[in-house]
Each structure stands twice: as structure tokens, then as C-alpha cells.
Chains A and B, each alone.
Chain A
């Protein structure tokens, strides 16, 4: 089933402290009730953010999963880019990518002294 089941799992994980504890204790067991392919299970267990984005997981769901795993924002964006580079364009869903693989869309603001440091 697939993308629906992947997203349903992430939706339920996001809402439930108990599900989060269970996921951290035994990732495979908590995924058992969901109708998932081996590829999807592997991506959810890893967690492989790039693969999940490639599979079509809505960014508004995936973002929470990345935050749950304490993945920092710029790292989250990079993992999605890496997923597209490795696996190809988003397969389905509404969250396709429209910019280039190496495009920097939202740079972190650099304080003037930081810029000086980088130049030196």
C-alpha cells in the first residue's frame, strides 16, 4: 500500500508519546501492523529521510519525523537533496522538488564577523 501507510504511521507516531517510546524500543515491531513494503520499512527504521522524501512523504509529515530524530534543519534539507540525487525525483504526492540539487535556497544568515572569519 504504501505511501498512504507510510504517512499513516508517521502521523500516528507524531501524535502519540506511547508510539514514540515503542518505536525507539523496537522499530520493526511497531511497524508490523502497517501494510508496508520492505523498502518502506527499511527507510522508516533507518531513518532514511532522503528515501522517504523520494517515496513521496509529505514534507509536513516528514519534517516532524526528522525533528523527532533531532535532525537539524539544514541537515534535514540536505538529506532530502541527497535522497533525490541518489534515488531520482519524488515518485508521488504533492511535495516534488523544483530547485537544482546543489542550489542553496535558504542560507543561514552570517553575522559580519563570521563572514570575516570565513574570508580569512
Chain B
């Protein structure tokens, strides 16, 4: 089989942890968009959800930082954060080690990748799952792209990795959904948290929807940092999904700033 679903959404911890501090009118429309994404995801009947996240030092640190990593376990756990702080209870999340092994083996043929038989999910995966697979009834395969500890994964390598991931999905019989998570412009977890460059976000999402490789890779870390903050480095996850979608065009279902959530809260999907 191949990809049956491809999309992206925000993962900021405030989305669940600080829900009561947001303007409910905007927040609830964002939650509705996530609800629609959940319905569309389940309608695609995936056997597994591959979540491409930008994890935040929950598993990988500068003592041994992979540019790319894929989980290979039958069970994961999360959130690593204080459950009260995140607003999500700690729990086990089902994986599929056998499927992971087959995907990783295929990806390795054309892209370097680390594998991990243990993985503690942080908000980057738990917040999307909270909305998209709230019953935790679909196996999850976590993927990480280094968006946090410089030197970061080059954008064109993220694109190549997305292509390798697609070829791997094409090579297995299972129905695979791919979901990228991250912020676009943001300055998370700093005093600047809440600063958002909306124009930059909309321009990036336009490039993403057109699935324009050259435009998506036409960024460098210095200008991203200046225009979109260190959180903007997480565009790598969106770019990976764009490459995996293999030329498909996308639609933005929601992209509006919610400062207390620290990002332009975003939901977008590709028409595969």
C-alpha cells in the first residue's frame, strides 16, 4: 500500500496545558479543525500513523544527536512532561516494531537514520495524538528530525529523508498516515513566547501547499532565526511531509495566531 493520509498540525504544549488562557472563540475553531483532521485521518483507515516531530530533548541530547531517528518499539510512553502541566495524562501508546523495522530498513537504503527501541513522547507527539487518535487505537511510529540542537538537519536532507520515507511506505502492505508536527514562526519557552510572524507563516504554508520544493528549501537558519525565531527551525518536519507527499497539493484548514499557545495554530493536509 502507500500513504493514505498526509498532513501537518501544531504541537505546542499550551494547546492542552493552557487551554483556559486562550480566547475561546479562536481556540474552539482551532480545536474544530483538529477534530476534522481526526475524522479525515480515521476515514483513511490507517494501519499506522507515522508522526514526524521535532522532539525537545526528551530522548536525544547533544551527547549523541541524530539528524533523523525512527522509533522501533511495540510500546512507547508519554508525556514525559508533568501531566498536570501539559493537561494530558501519562499513558502507554501502541507502536508496531515489525512495521518500524521494515520502514527503517527501506529508508536506510537512501537516507541515514538512527533507530530507537525506546522513546518517551513529549508534547511534540502527545498533543497531536490527544486530538487525532484520542483512543490511542492506532499504532504510532515516531520520527524525529533534529530541529533543536545545532548544527541542525539541513533542509534539503529533510526533503531527501521525506522521499526515502515515502518509498518505504510504498514498499509495505500497510496503509500509512504521515503527520508532521511543529510550529512555524515562534519563540517558544522564552520571554518572547507569544511573538508570532503571521505573514511569514502564511507565506511558508503557501509554499507548503504548492509543494514547491525549491521554495520550501529556500531558507537558511540565520534568516529563519531572525524572521521566525528558533521555533521556526521546526519547518523541517513540515518539509519532510511535503517530500513524502510526492508532489501532492495541500490545503490549509486553519492557520491563526494564538499567542498564549505561542504559535500560529495550524492544521493542513495534502490531497493524495
Tally chain A residues at the interface, Cβ within 8 Å: 33
Closest to A78 in B: B191
Contact flag A7-B62 (CB < 8 Å), given A60-B148, A95-B230:
yes
**Interface residue from B23, B57, B229 paired with A58 (Cβ < 8 Å):** B57
Nearest CB to that of A105 among chain B residues?
B194
Check if A67 sits within 8 Å of B85, measured CB to CB: yes
Which residues of B are in contact with A by a Cβ distance under 8 Å?
13-14, 17-18, 21-24, 56-59, 61-63, 80-82, 85-86, 120, 148-150, 187-195, 225, 229-230, 259-260, 262
| Residues of chain A at the chain B interface (Cβ within 8 Å) | 4, 7-8, 11, 14-15, 53, 58-64, 67-68, 70, 73, 77, 80-81, 84, 94-99, 105-109
A14 and B58 contact, CB distance less than 8 A: yes
Given the known interface contacts A8-B61, A58-B148, A95-B230, the answer about A106 and B194 at a Cβ–Cβ threshold of 8 Å is yes
- Quick one: which of A61, A84, A105 has the most chain B CB within 10 A? A105
Chain A binding surface SS class: helix
A79 CB to nearest B CB, Å = 9
* Of A4, A58, A109, the contact of B24 (CB 8 Å cutoff): A109
- In the A-B complex, the 10 residue pairs with the closest CB atoms: A106-B194, A59-B189, A60-B56, A105-B194, A106-B259, A67-B85, A63-B189, A109-B23, A108-B21, A67-B82
Distance in angstroms from B191 CB to nearest chain A CB is: 5
B residues in contact with A14, CB < 8 Å: 57-58, 80
Of the residues A4, A15, A59, A98, contact of B188 by C-beta under 8 Å: A59
Bound CA span A97–B192, Å: 6
Q: Are A11 and B61 in contact (CB under 8 A)?
A: yes
